[in-house]
């Protein structure tokens, strides 16, 4: 299994995803500031992985010195705020920080080593849970397809975006294990090319057949090939099923609806934000213009060209055939489906 993140004593080692697929470089992160930078600069990315990375970031935060309980709590609060500011769209970040806050409160007032050890146990638990969740998503999602199939996906919702196995790619991996993947159509996913750089790398590693396409080719592929379904990951799912995911997901959902192709979202229940009624309440991160203007260190347009660079868009619930979670498959009306899944959890 691809390990995008590994925790050690006083450090966390990650694959620098900004360098893939041409260079497989591992970075050692030893401070909460370095973790925040790695998340912001997308050296690690993917909603589930961001959440777990932030959990380990809180462990690293307490590697520093703290003379007493008051100073320790102040350090914890500042570190939590720093990590919370890195990526506003992915709800798993805030979910994981909330889980870590609960663990911190359980031992508040204890000595530094006790608190640090307790937080490390909590972060390790989140790591293991994520892998189990992803594998369950894969099993549940595979039941939606019959026979050998062609699947389309966007961005990277695989082992590199999680602690292992993946969400959207978890379903694809399960289908491949069952001998039922004939081809995966991988959208390149401009501007950062997570599909071209990361998803193809993962599929190649596992020997899963795939074909890379530019984002603008998706409609032609849907029109001329037997695509059994589109599977996307998610960074935040509203209570009504509206789903924020990597930019381009909205367009794919519209195309899939036009061609009568099922459009599925694969995401853990931790990505469902029942506090947000619909997609209009999801904050969409905007990133720097050079992600579009510059490729491999070279300008591909007029330097300084005005740029609009939203990192995510929102697919409306009416375009989503089902949302695949670790506890089962949710369908419209999503609010009721989610309530039932959470009750069963």
Which DSSP helix (H) or strand (E) runs through 10? none
Indicate the pairing of strand 294-295 with strand 312-315.
unpaired
Count CB neighbours of 78 within 10 A. Answer: 12
CA pair distance 297, 277, nearest whole angstrom: 41
CA pair distance 199, 2, nearest whole angstrom: 12
Count CB neighbours of 194 within 10 A. Answer: 27
Nearest to 219 by CA among 171, 152, 169: 152
The distance from CA 211 to its chain's CA centroid, rounded to whole angstroms, is 22
CA pair distance 55, 74, nearest whole angstrom: 17
Tell me the catalytic residues.
235
């Amino acid at each position: 299994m691809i390990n995008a993140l590994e925790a050690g004593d006083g450090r966390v080692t990650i694959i620098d995803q900004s360098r893939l697929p041409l260079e497989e470089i591992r970075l050692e992160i030893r401070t909460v500031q370095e973790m925040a930078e790695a998340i912001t600069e997308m050296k690690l990315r993917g909603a589930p992985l961001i959440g777990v990375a932030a959990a380990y970031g809180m462990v690293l935060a307490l590697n520093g010195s703290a003379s007493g309980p008051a100073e320790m709590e102040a350090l914890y609060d500042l570190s939590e705020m720093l990590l919370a500011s890195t990526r506003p769209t992915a709800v798993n970040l805030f979910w994981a920080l909330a889980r870590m806050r609960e663990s911190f409160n359980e031992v508040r007032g204890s000595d530094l080593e006790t608190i640090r050890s307790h937080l490390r146990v909590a972060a390790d638990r989140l790591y293991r849970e994520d892998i189990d969740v992803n594998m369950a998503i894969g099993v549940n999602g595979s039941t939606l397809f019959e026979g050998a199939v062609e699947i389309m996906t966007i961005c990277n919702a695989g082992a590199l975006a999680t602690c292992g196995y993946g969400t959207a790619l978890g379903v694809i991996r399960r289908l491949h294990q069952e001998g039922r993947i004939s081809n995966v159509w991988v959208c390149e996913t401009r501007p950062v090319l997570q599909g071209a750089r990361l998803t193809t790398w993962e599929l190649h590693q596992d020997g899963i057949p795939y074909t890379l396409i530019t984002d603008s080719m998706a409609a032609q592929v849907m029109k001329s090939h037997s695509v059994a379904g589109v599977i996307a990951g998610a960074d935040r799912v509203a209570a009504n099923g509206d789903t924020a995911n990597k930019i381009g997901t909205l367009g794919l959902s519209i195309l899939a609806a036009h061609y009568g192709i099922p459009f599925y979202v694969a995401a853990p229940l931790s990505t469902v934000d029942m506090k947000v009624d619909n997609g209009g309440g999801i904050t969409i991160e905007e990133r720097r213009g050079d992600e579009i203007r510059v490729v491999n260190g070279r300008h591909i347009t007029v330097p300084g060209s005005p740029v609009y660079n939203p990192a995510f868009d929102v697919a409306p619930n009416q375009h989503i055939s089902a949302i695949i979670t670790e506890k089962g498959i949710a369908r419209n009306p999503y609010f009721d489906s989610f309530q039932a899944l959470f009750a069963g959890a």
